[in-house]
Amino acid sequence: MVPKKILFCTDFSENSRPAWELAMGYAKAFGAKLLILHVIDLPGYVDWAEKLREIIEATERTANERLQLMVKECAHLVQDVKTYCRIGVAPREIVAFAQEESVDLIVAGTHGRTGVKHLVMGSVARSVLKTAHRPMLIVEAPGEKGESFGRSK
């Protein structure tokens, strides 16, 4: 199977960079459309107070600005790139988006957490893998730098 649509999921962390580079490389090699998705993760149910709405709107604006920087970064490699920002529980939103867009391959990075950190924080990538029912490439990045990319300097 040669993918025609590749979905790259980003949390903007430096740990997702290797997956980002791989997604760009695959999109270029296969001449595939690259979809970049960021989910503003809201775990569980949230009380939608007005202050929370303001915070979410500001976060969404910032995420969309960073997504546009990513488009500029990969424009020389991939001709067809689109960005999306959703709000919700990350694994559910990613799986729903992949189904809606009929993506052929999902590419996501993971922070490489193990042990207690993995049990407490979970893994968005592994949750998506269990429920997406489509090919997925999980790229594990070494360490937890806490830095992010997709920002102007």
Domain that holds residue 83: 5-140
Phi-psi region of 136 (alpha: psi -120 to 50; beta: other; left: phi over 0): beta
pLDDT reading at 4 higher than 60: yes
Q: Which residue has the higher pLDDT, 125 or 3?
A: 3
19 falls within a domain: yes
CA 12, distance to chain mean position in Å, is 8
Take residue 92 and report the two structure tokens written for it: 């559910």
CATH number, residue 33? 3.40.50.620
152 falls within a domain: no
Global confidence as pTM:
0.78
- Give the pLDDT mean for 136-151: 65
Each residue's pLDDT tens digit, 44-93: 555 556 677 788 889 999 999 999 999 999 988 998 999 999 988 899 99
Take residue 77 and report the two structure tokens written for it: 């490699």
148 falls within a domain: no
Q: How many domains does the chain have?
A: 1
39 falls within a domain: yes
Each residue's pLDDT tens digit, 10-45: 999 888 899 999 999 999 999 999 999 999 887 655
